[in-house]
Amino acid sequence: MAELLIIYHSKTGGSRQMAEAAAQAARDETTTTLLPAAEAGPEDMLRADGYIFCAPENLAAIAGVMKDFFDRCYYPVLGRIEGRPYAQMVCAGSDGENAARQTARIAQGWRLKEVQKPLIICTHAQTPEQILAEKTIPDAQLAQCRELGAALGAGLALGVF
């Protein structure tokens, strides 16, 4: 059975909720592993057939812990995961576009195949208190995360990707 790896980072809970929703739906379709970015490594990447990357945008960039994951894994898997499908989800306070671009550039270097445009969930957190507060992602937006997880899981299971 194909394996989907979902790597996420979350400090205030938003990205974690998004990743968990995608994982829940993907498990109906394929073997799914959900790992925090701080715990994930090259061996996890090599074992998986497809990926979802999920992280917050911090200061108009991918979160540092997610960047650390990419830094640790980039060269050990380079040339060994080409053509595998991926999607990404970003939890943002404003727009999330730069974090999505950064992740897409890394995935392009790995020669991964983007199978869906980035899903960006905007929390509209703008003050320091809102930014640092625990997040609750609304059900309608979590449904989008579940759809992404189910679609990628089904595509892997059916051999579409």
Predicted local confidence at residue 146, as pLDDT: 98
Of 8, 44, 4, nearest in space to 121 by CA? 8
Tell me, what CATH number does 50's domain have? 3.40.50.360
pLDDT confidence of residue 108: 98
Can you give the pLDDT at residue 70?
A: 98
pLDDT at 26: 97
Are the beta carbons of 78 and 110 closer than 8 angstroms?
yes
pLDDT of residue 88: 98
pLDDT at 9: 98
Q: Return the pLDDT at 75.
A: 98
Q: Which residues of the chain have pLDDT under 50?
A: none
Per-residue pLDDT, 105 = 98
How long, in residues, is the chain?
A: 161
Domain that holds residue 126: 3-158
pLDDT at residue number 25: 98
CA–CA–CA angle 113, 119, 124 (5° rounding): 150
Say how many domains are in the chain: 1
Q: What pLDDT was estimated at residue 5?
A: 98
Question: What is the predicted pLDDT for the residue at 122?
Answer: 97
Q: Check residue 64 and give its pLDDT.
A: 96
